[in-house]
Amino acid sequence: MSAWWWVLIGIGAFLVLVAIHDVVQRRHAILRVFPNIGHLRYILEAFGPELRHYIVTSNDEERPFSHSQRRWIYAGGEHQDNSFGFATDAEFERSPGYLIISPSAFPAPPPEEGDSDDRPLPSAKVLGGPRDRPGALRPASVVNISGMSFGALSARAVESLNAGAALAGCMQTTGEGGLTPYHLQGGELVMQFGTGWYGARDSRGCLDLPRLVELVQANPIRAVEIKMSQGAKPGVGGMLPGSKVTPEIAAIRGVEPGRPCVSPSVNPGFGNVDELLDPVERIAEATGLPVGIKSAVGDPRFWSDLARHMDGGSRGVDFITIDGGEGGTGSGPLSFIDHVRLPYRQAQARALRAFAERGIQHRVTWIGSGRPGLPEESIMAFALGADMINVGREAMLSIGCMQAQRCHTGHCPSGVATQSAWRRRGIDPTLTSARAAAHIITMRREITRLARATGVDHPSQVSLDHIEVLEGDILTPVAQRFGITPGGPCPWRSRGPQPLASGPSAHPAPRHMARSMSAGDATPSSARRRASSIAAA
């Protein structure tokens, strides 16, 4: 045999060994699913900066998440160094609405010795406190995981996110596809319902309240969310392509396997605010839990109507998740994905303004979603009045999603958004749950550091004065840009941690804020001065 044959046999044997290693290893989903070929992803990623520099795109060009943003998420999820060197490559003057966070000359001090930023960062507001819900709680983390259904996501992805939520001490919203065994890995839950009421649906397709009460009693459900609409496709109900409707999913949702599962675009039970608040109060009364809505923002009349109905105090939602137009979806029509509803910043401002005009914005916990999943945008969200933020696709990225944008086809290569048994086996929830948790912890650490840079201790203390928006070479204060009057007759947001209405405090005030409140005027930091004035108010 010639020497060339030996070389070929050697290469073949090497590739077979690599393939066996790839299929057996558990760290990388892509290698498990695409042995040998999957290495191209890592090779391209390693040389990507150089290649893109000369051939393809800049660090900032990929969408919806740029290469730099994804690198930040992947590195944080693996506890690797997520810092960047040399300088920014952002083109400030050419990026519309470029966010500038104003650093204070006197930043808030770092954590005291023996303390760290890697612990939970509790919400300043008590969820359900203002309406005295028996199940009111202070969420232990201001960063939580967005609703993404089992069906849109694979079982292993849902498992990873829930176990990750348990590790990070945050909550996971179930998504509208119902509660599944994969959601029960130790993480606390917000039970979400869309128009299909999957999980607690009666034979007419309406809410089966006794069934919901049973679910709440048997599972770690801490709140209920009614999904009015989703930022990516308001006016369109949930859409699960037939390729993803496996017999298991069909059984959970009570639909036919293999056929598209399309939920109605409107909820048959309510057609105006008055009718919406009835099920809200019925669910809250039967379960004792805080009840909220998730919505995209368009028509301002809905928000002023909701605020007007809540002004009387007898009925109302406990939280509102504002989903910006930048938000993701498992499947939706392009014209909706691109055009129908406001982007997050405008959406948050419009909805909250309706409540601030009546001075009742503090009665609601505001949750930002759809853009705030990255640290700088989340600081913007806090300044605009959000009390917490939800992360969706960022959490997917942390468990291996590579932004292939094939969630709607059932052929997600990373096993995150598919029901293909071969592809989803690439995910090992023991490893990926730790990555999801690391991502949440990294987010909390980074937003705490950003808050401190502005001179305050907790992101809920970041105010509109801390943010400006650069348009060309014109700087506009955020308040002016979004038509907000800070400090006017209706202060934009209430500051300082809310106490629990009654009973022993299972969730004490956020330590960051408590620290600055007890520090009084003695310390020169602007955060402390501000906090002590709130405490005195």
| Binding of ligand FMN by 394 (CB under 6 A) | yes
| Binding of ligand FMN by 330 (CB under 6 A) | yes
Site string for ligand FMN, 285-324 (x = CB under 6 A): ---------x----------------------------x-
Q: Are 224 and 280 in contact (CB under 8 A)?
A: no
Nearer to ligand FMN, 109 or 254 (CB): 254
How many chain residues bind ligand FMN (CB under 6 A)? 28
Of the residues 163, 245, 380, 391, which one makes contact with ligand FMN according to CB under 6 A? 391
Of the residues 129, 135, 279, 328, which one makes contact with ligand FMN according to CB under 6 A? 328
Taking the complex as a whole, the smallest distance from the CB of residue 291 to ligand FMN amounts, in Å, to 15
Taking the complex as a whole, the smallest distance from the CB of residue 210 to ligand FMN amounts, in Å, to 24
Of the residues 59, 69, 146, 532, which one makes contact with ligand FMN according to CB under 6 A? 146
Q: How many CB atoms lie within 10 A of CB 391?
A: 25
Strand partners, 190: 173, 223
Options 9-17, 201-209, 390-398, 511-519: segment touching ligand FMN (CB under 6 A): 390-398
| Binding of ligand FMN by 148 (CB under 6 A) | yes
Instruction: Report which of 474, 477, 465, 467 is spatially closest to residue 100, judged by C-alpha positions.
Output: 467
In eight-state DSSP terms, residue 201 is B
Taking the complex as a whole, the smallest distance from the CB of residue 314 to ligand FMN amounts, in Å, to 28
- Where helices occur in 288-416 by DSSP H, the ranges are 300-311, 334-339, 344-356, 375-383, 393-398
Residues in the chain: 537
How far apart, in whole angstroms, are the C-alpha atoms of residue 238 and residue 81?
38
Nearer to ligand FMN, 330 or 413 (CB): 330
Site string for ligand FMN, 365-384 (x = CB under 6 A): ----xx--x-----------
Taking the complex as a whole, the smallest distance from the CB of residue 276 to ligand FMN amounts, in Å, to 16
Of the residues 35, 147, 292, 415, which one makes contact with ligand FMN according to CB under 6 A? 147
| Binding of ligand FMN by 452 (CB under 6 A) | no
Strand partners, 143: 389
| Binding of ligand FMN by 196 (CB under 6 A) | no
Three-state DSSP string of 214-280 = HHHHHCCEEEEEEECCCCCCCCCCCEECHHHCCHHHHHHHCCCCCCCEECCCCCCCCCCHHHHHHHH
| Binding of ligand FMN by 407 (CB under 6 A) | yes
- At CA 338, angle to CA 332 and CA 344, rounded to 5? 100
How far apart, in whole angstroms, are the C-alpha atoms of residue 309 and residue 306?
5
Nearer to ligand FMN, 253 or 362 (CB): 253
Q: Are 298 and 234 in contact (CB under 8 A)?
A: yes
Q: Are 448 and 440 in contact (CB under 8 A)?
A: no
Contact set with ligand FMN (CB under 6 A): 146-149, 152-153, 175-177, 192, 227, 230-231, 294, 323, 327-330, 369-370, 373, 391-394, 407, 417
